[in-house]
Amino acid sequence: MSLSNLLLVVLLFVLALFSCKEKGCTDPAASNFKYEAVEDDGSCEYRGCTDPRAINYDPDAFDDDGSCRYTGTVNFYSDHYLLEEWNTYMDVAVQEGYIGSIEDRAPDEVLSCDEPTSHIRLADWPEGPFIYSYWIIRRESQYVFDTIDSGSGSAYVYENECTPVTI
């Protein structure tokens, strides 16, 4: 074999070796990311929440990673005696955000979310613990309000359930 033929064969081999583009998943966020890949072949796979009922459902996830989060409902009632006074109501906040007012004292036996009494419903709240605050306010006149009691507490929202909270 002549030297020119040998050089041609070596050159063709080197060109063939380096012209092949490594294919694979080129997304570093994917669980099967391939560092050597130069061209994405559409094979990327993602971990995440695969339950369509969850609030953080990821339709692109192929494998559930245990991160699914769900919601529940909270009904706030009040059995505070001050709500029986004229022009008095209770403001309620959850996680430092105002959610509403309760104007009437609920019966002492309120233990469920089915009671047709004055309450505040907080729907689709993420499952887990939360903190609430309340202020009992008396309206003295059109522009004068007086906070006569306040407090805070904590409760837990359960997945797809209604939690009654009596303040």
How confident is the model over 11-34, as pLDDT tens digits?
665 555 555 678 899 999 888 999
Report the 10 Å Cβ neighbour count for 92: 20
Of 3.90.1150, 3.90.226, 2.30.30, 2.60.40, the CATH number of 71-166 is 2.60.40
Quickly state the pLDDT bin for 54 (edges 50, 70, 90).
confident
Q: What residues form DSSP beta bridges with 154?
A: 131
- Would you call 102 exposed, middle or buried from its count of C-beta atoms within 10 A (0-12, 13-18, 19+)? buried
Q: Where do the domains of the chain lie?
A: 21-69, 71-166
Positive or negative torsion for Cα 140, 143, 146, 151: positive
CA atoms of 29 and 33, how far apart (whole Å): 7
Range from 45-54, 113-122, 128-137 carrying the lowest mean pLDDT: 113-122
Closest-CA residue to 153 (of 85, 83, 78): 78
